């Protein structure tokens, strides 16, 4: 499964983990280091650029992880910070 991210699609804007299929694919590509491909996927939608912009800091943090344990730790930190706001 994908780590904690915010949706940018018109139906679920700013809702955590309510990603569209395109957002999920773009997130996976981005985290795997395929940022251009992630941008290509999202460029098909008027709101597409918003997803990467909204989540860039988190996507970058997840992309830096080497293990699933690190992803879980980063996700927990992000969730703690986000739910505190």
Per-domain residue ranges of the chain:
21-84
Instruction: Say yes or no to pLDDT of 18 above 80.
Output: yes
Q: What is the pLDDT of residues 30-74, one digit of tens each?
A: 999 999 999 999 999 999 999 999 999 999 999 999 999 999 999
pLDDT at 74: 98
HEC-encoded secondary structure of 33-70: CCHHHHHHHHCCCCCHHHHHHHHHHHHHHHHCCCCHHH
Instruction: Say yes or no to pLDDT of 79 above 70.
Output: yes
> What would the mean pLDDT of 66-84 be, rounded to a whole number?
94
pLDDT at 83: 82
pLDDT at 85: 60
Phi and psi torsions of 33, nearest 5°: 90, 5
């Amino acid at each position: 499964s994908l780590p904690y991210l915010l949706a940018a699609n018109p139906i679920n804007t700013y809702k955590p983990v309510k990603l569209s299929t395109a957002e999920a694919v773009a997130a996976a590509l981005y985290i795997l280091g395929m940022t251009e491909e992630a941008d290509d996927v999202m460029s098909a939608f008027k709101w597409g650029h918003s997803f990467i912009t909204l989540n860039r800091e988190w996507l970058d943090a997840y992309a830096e992880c080497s293990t699933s344990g690190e992803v879980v730790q980063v996700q927990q930190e992000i969730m703690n910070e986000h739910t505190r706001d």
